[in-house]
Amino acid sequence: MFSEIIFFTGILGCAVFAISGALAAAEKQQDIMSFILLGVVTGIGGGTIRDLILNKPQVFWLAEPIYLYVCVIASALTYFIAHYIASKHRALVWMDAAGMALFSVMATHTSLAWNDSWLVAIAMAMITASFGGVIRDVMLDQMPVILEPEIYVSASVTGSLVFLIANHLQLDSSLSICLGFIGAFSLRGAAIIWDLRLPKYQD
């Protein structure tokens, strides 16, 4: 049962991040192939880097190509429905927040299976949740969202920590995932709504 929850959470995370990549393509008025390309690299980019760093035998979407299929389908569908979305940028920001929260928890769980270190797990959460969006933004020649002053990486760390604590307390695994997601998504959502920011370095 838990393995199924992990699988479908990963699928959902890839789909949500792929949609955010496709919405970024919509903002730039790209063609359908650009939608698919940006959707795919956003959906699988962070997880690919995570698996390479953890030196896993095979990158997750090579082992199970369904993740790739989901990214392609989600991106292509976004091409046909994007014109119905009144504010594409706002939709992109919220989809990105959901993807970040899902991937933060999934990466923490995956890392724990390979290494017991909480610090490594949190680092993997930050990398997995951020780097798909970084690749997307670099391809579109715009400032990566993690370099914006709004709270983003901090939300990823929060979700990862909540999951780790819940897991340490031996709460139900599915509940731990839900709590981690809520922790990351709530903080990021609050930052979006109320423009929360960490203080900048002052020279």
3-state secondary structure 22-78: HHHHHHCCCCHHHHHHHHHHHHHHHHHHHHHHCCCCCCHHHHCCHHHHHHHHHHHHH
- Would the CA dihedral through 125, 128, 134, 137 be positive or negative? negative
CB 160 within 8 A of CB 112: no
Q: Where are the domains of the chain?
A: 2-194
pLDDT of the residue at 68: 97
% of the chain surpassing 70 pLDDT: 99
- Give yes or no for residue 191 having a pLDDT over 90: yes
Residue type, 155: A
For 196, other C-beta atoms within 10 Å of its C-beta total: 16
- Give yes or no for residue 115 having a pLDDT over 90: no
pLDDT of the residue at 194: 95
Query: Could you tell me which of 172, 35, 149, 158 has the C-alpha nearest to residue 100?
Result: 158
pLDDT of the residue at 112: 92
For 202, other C-beta atoms within 10 Å of its C-beta total: 4
CB 109 within 8 A of CB 163: yes
148 or 168: which carries more pLDDT confidence? 168
Tokens of 62: 């090579």
- Give yes or no for residue 202 having a pLDDT over 70: yes
What is the overall mean pLDDT for the chain? 94
3-state secondary structure of 197: strand
Tell how many helices (H) and how many strands (E) occur in the chain.
Answer: 8, 0
Mean pLDDT of 106-123: 93
d(CA 136, CA 39): 8
Query: Could you tell me which of 47, 12, 16 has the C-alpha nearest to residue 128?
Result: 47
Mean pLDDT of 187-203: 91
Widest CA span of the chain, in angstroms?
Answer: 52
Q: What is the band of 46 on the pLDDT scale with cuts at 50, 70, 90?
A: very high
pLDDT of the residue at 150: 82
pLDDT of the residue at 1: 65
Mean pLDDT of 9-19: 96
pLDDT one-digit tens code per residue, 56-112: 999 999 999 999 999 999 999 999 999 998 889 899 999 999 999 999 999 999 999
pLDDT of the residue at 145: 84
CA–CA–CA angle 136, 111, 126 (5° rounding): 35
